Amino acid sequence: MAVGIPLLLLGGCAAVGLVLFYSSKDRVVTEADSPVARMPSKQPEANQPPATEPAQQQPQEQLKQESSTATVGGSITLQGTDPGLQVPVTVNQLVNPANPAQDFMKPKTGNKIVAVQVTLANVGRAVYSDAPTNGALLIDGEGQQYRSSFHDVREGQSLSGMVTINTGDSRKGMIVFEVPEGAKSAKLQFALNSGFADQKREWTLS
């Protein structure tokens, strides 16, 4: 009898311990699976850093925003079919009429010679190799356009034939046109790559 009582007490304590263990375990699981558990908020915090400033404009974007027209003495930077080709073009002067360098190269009866002096400077990464006169058009007051001619003039060296300009270098010369006597020289239109480049800009001559 004396031995039985202690064993009974030990058994009772073990039973109480098991009940407490499983009750605690059930409570932990229940709290973890509780439907009222807080989810992380998707709203930005008040101290969130401001949005990053927009990137600076690329040279190509800046070229697109440049003025598409200029006057005599003005310069416009043109881009070629190669993004690395960038050439500021300056119209220096208009000679109207110009005098042919050789008497046997006079214009046709009823026509005259007009010369536009330009300067081409290469500020890009690519070498500029082109026949600049192919990309030039003279536009008169009535909107008619004329391509360059092969005349040489006494007022300056013609910018005819192929021209190669390395980065940092420049060329200056006359682009010559033969037009009717009564034509009023209104504009010069110019583009790189013999006129095939997308950018075509104009200079007002009068």
Please report which helix (H) or strand (E) contains residue 113, including its range.
strand 111-121
In this prediction, residue 68 has a pLDDT band, given cuts at 50, 70 and 90, of confident
In this prediction, residue 56 has a pLDDT band, given cuts at 50, 70 and 90, of very low
Q: Exposed (0-12), middle (13-18) or buried (19+): which is 136, by Cβ within 10 Å?
A: buried
- If asked whether residues 15 and 76 sit together in one domain, one would say no
Residue 137, domain CATH: 2.60.40.1240
- If asked whether residues 15 and 86 sit together in one domain, one would say no
Domain count for the chain: 2
Q: Can you give the length of the chain in residues? A: 206
In this prediction, residue 105 has a pLDDT band, given cuts at 50, 70 and 90, of confident
Of residues 129 and 206, more confidence is placed in: 129
Predicted local distance difference test score (pLDDT) of residue 103: 85
- If asked whether residues 95 and 190 sit together in one domain, one would say yes
Predicted local distance difference test score (pLDDT) of residue 1: 45
- If asked whether residues 197 and 110 sit together in one domain, one would say yes
Q: For residue range 117-173, list pLDDT tens digits in order.
A: 999 999 999 999 999 999 999 999 999 999 999 999 999 999 989 999 999 999 999
- If asked whether residues 135 and 83 sit together in one domain, one would say yes
- If asked whether residues 165 and 104 sit together in one domain, one would say yes
| Cβ contact 111:97 at 8 Å | no
Residue 20 lies in a domain: yes
Residue 130 lies in a domain: yes
Tokens 């990137």, residue?
A: 55
Residue 79 lies in a domain: yes
State which residues form the domain around 19. Answer: 1-33
In this prediction, residue 47 has a pLDDT band, given cuts at 50, 70 and 90, of low
Distance (Å, whole) CA 72 – CA 194: 22
Distance (Å, whole) CA 46 – CA 43: 9
DSSP conformation class of 28: H
Residue 39 lies in a domain: no
Residue 16 lies in a domain: yes
In this prediction, residue 96 has a pLDDT band, given cuts at 50, 70 and 90, of very high
Residue 170 lies in a domain: yes
Prior bond of 97 cis (ω within 30°) = yes
Query: Is pLDDT of 6 > 70?
Result: no
Residue 190 lies in a domain: yes
- Residues of the chain above pLDDT 70, percent: 67
